[in-house]
Each structure stands twice: as structure tokens, then as C-alpha cells.
Amino acid sequence: MSTYDFVITTKRPSYRYINWTGQLMILLALIELGTGLTEWTNQKWTILVSMVSMILFWAYNRFNKQSTHQPYYRTSLFIAAIALYYLAGYPVWLAVLYVAAGFAEGLAKFPEEIGFNTDQVVFNTLPKKVYNWNEFSNVLIRDGVITIDFKNNRLFQKDLQEPVYASLEKEFNTYCQEQLRISAESGK
């Protein structure tokens, strides 16, 4: 496990459509399970507990107003997958769809972080991208935007998740310039 001198988190995009899709899938599962309450007499309590659990996890994520809270509906999607397959007897592909949607939501909402140490720069994405310092011509933060200029004329620019103090911005930029200088001198 590497340690990083600096870890930068870029601004998250709006996940409105991902959230709507997850909530719609939960609603459809609740409707199906609700109709099942009248048909499957031997599993009513289990279905009811599944439905209440889904609603509670949904409500917690939907109405949690913490500024840093990112809603994840995957727990409700996983409960729906289990309930639809094991309790309601729906086909396995439907359960797989709900499980895949839960994992896809987690992957889509994975925060994009960039770790900087003396050996390399790592983009914590899926898949993880690792670059050596000699692949960059410039790296800097200015006005809440990180800019990484690759030597192959590719440019990476993103807003930062949190505002950066001027002193930390200066420290980061000095650190990056030093790493670029060392990399250029050593040729690695």
C-alpha cells in the first residue's frame, strides 16, 4: 500500500439520473412485492420485512440532508434482488439485474482521487491509472482547479471538491515542480 504526500479529490458530477434509476427500480420492486403479499401466504412476513427494510434504507439516503452525504441506494437494490428471487420466485436474471445495478451505482459514484508521491501519480479510478512524473510537463492547482499537462499533449483539468487555501496551493505547486525537476534530471 502506497502512502501519498498529497491526495486531491476532484469535484463529483451530478448523479441525478443514477439516483432516479435506482429509486425507480426500488419502486418497481416494492410494487411487485406488494402485489405478492396477497398471493404468497406462506412468506408474507418475510416479504413485509424486506419491503420495510428497502423503504428504510431508501428513506435514509433520500432524506439525509448532510452536505457531504452521497446517497447510495444499492443496499435497497440488493435486498430487492434477494426478495424478488428467493421470496417471490422471479427469474434469476431479474435478481442479477438488481445486483448489477447495485454494483454499477457504487462504481459510478466512486470518488475520483489523485494521489501524489515522490515516485508516481495515481488516479484512483476504476481501473487505477499510474503515471511516472516523467510523463508530465506540468502539474498545478490554481483557483480551485487541478491541471495536469501530459507530455503527449493530453490535458487533464477538473474542479476540486473542496476549496484549497493559498498556502496549501503554493506548497502543492512547489512540490510538483520539484518532482518534475527531479524526474527531468534523472531521466526516469
- Within a domain: 170: yes
**pLDDT score at 103:** 92
Identify whether residues 98 and 120 lie together within a single domain.
no
Characterize the bridge pairing of strands 113-116 and 6-9: antiparallel
Q: In the predicted model, what is the mean pLDDT of residues 5-31?
A: 91
> How would residue 23 be classed by pLDDT, with cut points 50, 70 and 90?
very high
Identify whether residues 38 and 70 lie together within a single domain.
yes
Q: Count other C-beta atoms under 10 Å from residue 78's C-beta.
A: 18
Evaluate whether 157 touches 147 at the Cβ level (below 8 Å). Answer: yes
**pLDDT score at 33:** 87
Characterize the bridge pairing of strands 145-150 and 6-9: unpaired
**Higher-confidence residue: 69 or 144?**
144
Cα(7)–Cα(12) distance, integer angstroms: 15
Identify whether residues 68 and 86 lie together within a single domain.
yes
SS3 160: strand
Cα(53)–Cα(178) distance, integer angstroms: 53
Q: In the predicted model, what is the mean pLDDT of residues 26-39?
A: 86
CATH number assigned to the domain comprising residue 139: 2.30.29.30
pLDDT, tens only, 50-63: 999 999 999 988 88
SS3 90: coil
What percent of the chain has a predicted confidence (pLDDT) above 70? 94
> How would residue 3 be classed by pLDDT, with cut points 50, 70 and 90?
confident
Q: What is the tally of structural domains in the chain?
A: 2
Identify whether residues 30 and 95 lie together within a single domain.
yes
**Higher-confidence residue: 7 or 47?**
7
Identify whether residues 20 and 89 lie together within a single domain.
yes
Parent domain of 179: 112-186
**Mean pLDDT of the residues in the chain:** 88
